[in-house]
Amino acid sequence: MTIQKGRGRTKADVVYEALQSAILSGNIAAGEHLRQEEVAARWGVSQTPVREAFRRLESEGLIEHAPNRGVIVRGLPWTPPPAPMEAIARRWEELVRDPDAVPGSDFP
């Protein structure tokens, strides 16, 4: 598939956006290896825009370059929020340790 550039968008931008979208949507799974040559062939570009796209994705934490292993997809760099009861228990502990931390409280 050869890419079509839009106004002001480089080939690196197009490859970056396509890979980012595929990783975030789960179409490219965490742990999957990305080969520069294969990505370049898929989008009909040279390897230079692919390297630039890889650098941008690595700076976002979506992929990592592992020595002797190549580029590996890390997936989403976030953890799910804590369960509501865990958050309430943690806040309760904070308030027990420091009752003055209650906002708007004038209770002695």
Q: Is 79 helix (H, G, I), strand (E, B) or coil?
A: coil
What integer is the mean pLDDT of 40-67? Answer: 93
pLDDT at residue number 107? 52
Q: Which residues contact 107 (CB under 8 A, 6 or more apart)?
A: none
Over the stretch 10-42, which tens digit does the pLDDT of each residue have? Answer: 999 999 999 999 998 889 999 999 999 999 999
Write out the DSSP string of 28-54: S-TT-EE-HHHHHHHHT--HHHHHHHH
pLDDT at residue number 4? 54
Whether this prediction's pTM lies above 0.85 is answered by no
Percent of the chain residues past pLDDT 70, beyond the cut: 81
pLDDT exceeds 60 at position 80: yes
Q: Please provide the average confidence, as pLDDT, over all residues in the chain.
A: 83
Asked if residues 71 and 54 have their Cβ atoms less than 8 Å apart, the reply is: yes
Residue 25 to residue 62: CA distance in whole angstroms = 12
pLDDT at residue number 6? 53
What integer is the mean pLDDT of 57-81? Answer: 83
CATH number of 11-73: 1.10.10.10
